[in-house]
Amino acid sequence: MADEPVDAKGPEKDSDNKEDIKPKSKESTRPESKASSSSKTDEEKKTAPRVKSAKSKKDGKKTGGKGNTKSKPAEPKEESTEKDGGGQDSMIPLFISSKSQEIFQCVADEHVTEDNPHKLIPKDAIIQDMRERAAVSDFHPVKQLILDYPGDEILLIYDADFKYGQNFVLVSSDEEKQRILNPVVEQAEDGSPTGEEGEAVEEIDPVVYQYVPPEPKEWVSLGSEKEIEEASWKETEQKIRITIRRARREFGGALSFSDRNADDAKDGYIECVPFEDKSFSLKIMELDKDVQAVSTYTDQGSQTVWKHPCNKYTQYAPRELTEAEQKNLLSSETLYNFLDRVTPRFELALQQNDIMDVFRDDWKELGNEDDTFGSKSDNHLKEYQSFTDLQFSRDKVLTCIAWHPSIKGIIAVSCAEKMTYDERVDNSSRIIMTQSLILIWSFSDPIHPQILLEAPEDIVCFKFNPTDPNIIAGGCINGQIVLWDISKYVDRLKNTQRGKQSKKNAMLNVPGFEDDSSDKTPVVRYCASAAIESGHRNAVADIQWLPDHMEVNRFGLMVENRNLQSCQLLTASVDGTIGIWDTRPSKSQSQTADDGKEDNPLGVATTFKHLDLTWKPIIKIHMSRLEGSGDYGPVRVSFQERQGDRHLLEKMQKEGSAGKSSIDRKDSNMGGGFGIRSGSAKEKRQLEGATTKFFVGTEDGELIYADLKLEKDPDSGKLVPPRADFVKSFHDRAINTLQRSPFFKDIVLVVGGWNFSIWKEGRESNPLLISAAASKQFTCGFWSPTRPAVFYLGTAEGNIEVWDLLDRTHEASLSQNISASEITNVYPWHLSHKQQLLAVSDNVGTLHILEVPWTLRNLTHGELTSVTSYFDREDKRLEYQEQRESVHQENKRRLDAEEAAKKIAQPPEPSTEEVDNKMRTLWLEYLEDEKKFLLDLGLVEEKEEPLPDV
């Protein structure tokens, strides 16, 4: 067999790592070239050149004879050197991370492999890496060896089998590096290479391979690029944009940090307890289905009877009896006998008709009530109507909704631009040219609004006056308070109700008397607005009309209102203030009936002309923080007094004299009693039993219990609002709902962030009920007007959740999706015992009207008593908890005081006997230690005790 060429290194090997491996010589056993077989990996053995051995001439056989040549990679010699321990000290195992492999281009199975395990790395590159990454560098453990290395390049060997314990081996000796890269081949006596047992080895010329670069061929598309494109991930959703601002004065300030335990501060940490995610669901990303359309065959027959239509008419006259025939018939005995016989039966039939309705369908009357506990029949909200305007409300956020107090089927909604503060500044020129409106809708026309109320800026909140619904008050985003008067358009709202036609404008249908303006939606301009400098410095977050039986004077006291007209407003803004506004003219202002005759080209109502641009609040309360400086940002306010509850005023009327406290209704020439002056404060008595304290919800999720009554400051002598009674923070976002229950004056629903809570006035420690953090954010809430245990919540996912406290308190009884966008407001309205509607608005400009099912609107048997018992039980539980906390705190204070007294008190002087015992104990301990010490030194031998005699 001819000698085969040896492929010591393929053409694809790196030229920098190229090695010429030859058989070792006997001189490799010198101390400077000692290398054990462990210094060479299995890969090195595999890459050793293959040579053919031949026996010596003493055996009388030629070299290269058939069957006499063997491939010897000189492995036995390596084993011999391995026993001598040749280069073990210079072979250092080292772990190189993937990051470092990429830096030095020695990635495993890419730059270095089992066939080519060697990599020369410049010494300066390793030193630079240790300087930049310091202790993070993988070469930091051998830092001193690298610094003392004499050469410029350090050899790194890839240990694929972890023979040395790590993935790489570093050669710390230059002689060992040269020995590995340039191994020595053993020579015979005649100078020829020798084999394993000293026989001569034939030298073989190395085969040189020439690298031929491959030529790319023309690529032919077979559709694979589409599969790659479909499998690749692309960013489709719009990125969230967050703008963070910070006051310039806060930069560069001195900082002082300290360590504290998480348990030292309240709410210092939030515990994340694992729980089962019920909303988790697996979705099939890809599904293959086959659909085949197969036509169905049916046999049918039809026959039409053709009747030829023709025009005909018939004229006839009724048959009449003659006078003789009538006389004979009435005097007939047969007729009298017939009447006597059927009269009892006829009377019985009439009596039955009076007693019972024989035409009533009993089947329809069955199942009108659903008293079964937990029944799910007919308990979903039904879509009743929806309103949207393509010009004024489309793609806008609906900030507030309100039902008309007296006209059924009329609802108003305010819209605003969906922009942040920065976006409003950038688009201020466009916003100025856009109308800010309140749309008043009617169920009879879901496409066109009936009236448009124009405002100077976008309206955040508004309310109808409870005593005069023609008056509407609204709060703008710039802090202004605006009033409208729609008295001229009341007939338009009333005549749009279903089944009613306009009688006043009946002549407009006559040819020649048409009025084109009757079909246009009227735009009503605001009749009064507060001065900008007198209003709030930020958006008005909440506005309320005070009840008609009370009013607030300039001292913050609640006094009687004998006119029974709601004439005062309460506003709250995130600028930290709460204002009380009076719509009546003051003493210095005069209001006459001739004011309406002045020139008024815009047709604006003059009801509140005396307030326009001069309106100021009678009280402005700053909500100062209890700790630190600054104010709270109130967004919701709730008083205990409610509209229609006049028992306090009636009680005062019975107890007091009739002349002083009698109710006096007066109507001015301006309508609604707003032209009546407020009168003297001395004539009005304080409303006994009415509390001036109220709840406030802030933009930071805090619940505040404050007092409206002003107090005299001892330092300045001015009247200032008192500090808040307590501040509780159970919500992580702004409070969007703060509403009292229509059945309990002291029960308050608070909604904000990812949870809601129910508080009882007078219990300030904790809420009666607080929900767990939900998977979606709650955006609004409202109590049911007919069921004390039910309230509605709106979510950021467009769902409406119905909570029934008697059914379950840990989750909603009903959750139904209404819109694809965020729900902004929810407002139920009870029309009759047979119908209750729920108004829901979203942030894309659509107002949804839903019909509430029977189970959610009808009061169940004993529900009020059960809810009252539930609230009482929770109140007692909190009371017991407060008592236990006070006991624990008292015990803790007592124990701390005792421990402090022990530390301060001096220890008592010991007696003589105690001192002697202590000294004796110390002396015995000393003797024991001395004996052990002498025994350890061997200076004393321990005597063995003799064994007892047997």
Residue 711 lies in a domain: yes
Whether 560 and 645 share a structural domain:
yes
Helix (H, G, I), strand (E, B) or coil at 44: helix
Q: Could you identify the residue written with the tokens 């019920």?
A: 278
What pLDDT does 504 receive? 46
- Which band of pLDDT confidence, cut at 50, 70 and 90, is reported for residue 827? very high
What pLDDT does 12 receive? 40
Quick check: 200 pLDDT over 70? no
Quick check: 363 pLDDT over 90? no
- Which band of pLDDT confidence, cut at 50, 70 and 90, is reported for residue 62? very low
Quick check: 238 pLDDT over 70? yes
Quick check: 9 pLDDT over 80? no
- The percent of residues above 70 in pLDDT, for the chain, comes to 78
User: Could you report the per-residue pLDDT of 728-760, keeping only the tens digit for each?
Assistant: 999 999 999 999 999 999 999 999 999 999 999
What pLDDT does 717 receive? 78
309 vs 172 pLDDT, higher one: 172
Among the residues of 75-173, which ranges form H helices? 75-84, 98-103, 123-133, 143-148
Residue 923 lies in a domain: no
Residue 309 lies in a domain: no
Quick check: 76 pLDDT over 50? no
Whether 186 and 145 share a structural domain:
no
Number of other CB atoms surrounding residue 799 within 10 Å: 17
Whether 134 and 9 share a structural domain:
no
Residue 60 lies in a domain: yes
Quick check: 846 pLDDT over 90? yes
User: Could you report the per-residue pLDDT of 905-947, keeping only the tens digit for each?
Assistant: 777 788 899 889 999 999 999 999 998 988 888 887 777 767 6
- Which band of pLDDT confidence, cut at 50, 70 and 90, is reported for residue 673? low
709 vs 207 pLDDT, higher one: 709
User: Could you report the per-residue pLDDT of 88-129, keeping only the tens digit for each?
Assistant: 678 889 888 888 888 888 888 888 888 888 888 898 888 888
- Which band of pLDDT confidence, cut at 50, 70 and 90, is reported for residue 44? very low
Three-state SS annotation for 862-929: CHHHHHHHHHHHHHHHHHHHHHHHHHHHHHHHHHHHHHHHHHHCCCCCCCHHHHHHHHHHHHHHHHHH
Structural domain of 150:
97-172
Mean pLDDT, range 248-276, rounded to an integer: 79
- Which band of pLDDT confidence, cut at 50, 70 and 90, is reported for residue 665? low
User: Could you report the per-residue pLDDT of 285-301, keeping only the tens digit for each?
Assistant: 777 777 877 777 777 77
Whether 36 and 80 share a structural domain:
yes
What pLDDT does 878 receive? 92
What pLDDT does 223 receive? 82
DSSP state of 788: T
What pLDDT does 225 receive? 86
For 498, how many CA atoms within 13 A lie in the half-sphere containing its CB? 8
- The answer to whether 511 touches 468, Cβ cutoff 8 Å, is no
Mean pLDDT, range 66-79, rounded to an integer: 38
Whether 24 and 112 share a structural domain:
no
Whether 3 and 111 share a structural domain:
no
What pLDDT does 479 receive? 92
What pLDDT does 486 receive? 92
Give CA–CA dist 863/871, Å, rounded.
12
Residue 228 lies in a domain: no
Whether 165 and 45 share a structural domain:
no
Residue 273 lies in a domain: no
Indicate the range of 86-90, 331-335, 563-567 predicted with least confidence: 86-90
Give CA–CA dist 531/579, Å, rounded.
14
What residues have CB less than 8 Å from 392, skipping those under 6 apart?
415, 435, 437, 439, 449, 452
Whether 167 and 183 share a structural domain:
no
User: Could you report the per-residue pLDDT of 773-786, keeping only the tens digit for each?
Assistant: 999 999 999 999 99
Give CA–CA dist 845/848, Å, rounded.
10
950 vs 881 pLDDT, higher one: 881
Mean pLDDT, range 670-697, rounded to an integer: 71
- The answer to whether 558 touches 552, Cβ cutoff 8 Å, is yes
Task: Report the mean per-residue pLDDT for the chain.
Answer: 79
Count how many domains the chain has: 3
Whether 451 and 569 share a structural domain:
yes
- The answer to whether 703 touches 697, Cβ cutoff 8 Å, is yes
Whether 86 and 134 share a structural domain:
no
Give CA–CA dist 745/762, Å, rounded.
12
DSSP 216-256: PPPP---SHHHHHHHHS----SPPP-------GGGTT----
Whether 159 and 22 share a structural domain:
no
Residue 909 lies in a domain: no
CA 763-764-770 angle, to 5 degrees, is 85
User: Could you report the per-residue pLDDT of 143-168, keeping only the tens digit for each?
Assistant: 888 888 888 888 889 988 888 888 89
Whether 526 and 546 share a structural domain:
yes
User: Could you report the per-residue pLDDT of 162-179, keeping only the tens digit for each?
Assistant: 888 888 998 888 888 888
User: Could you report the per-residue pLDDT of 130-143, keeping only the tens digit for each?
Assistant: 888 888 888 888 88
Quick check: 235 pLDDT over 60? yes
- 689 phi-psi bin (left φ>0, alpha ψ -120 to 50, beta other): left
What pLDDT does 531 receive? 87
User: Could you report the per-residue pLDDT of 458-498, keeping only the tens digit for each?
Assistant: 999 999 999 999 999 999 999 999 999 999 999 888 886 54
User: Of 795, 792, 796, whose CA–CA distance to 850 is shortest?
Assistant: 792
Residue 223 lies in a domain: no
Give CA–CA dist 140/296, Å, rounded.
81
* Beta-ladder partners of 631: 624
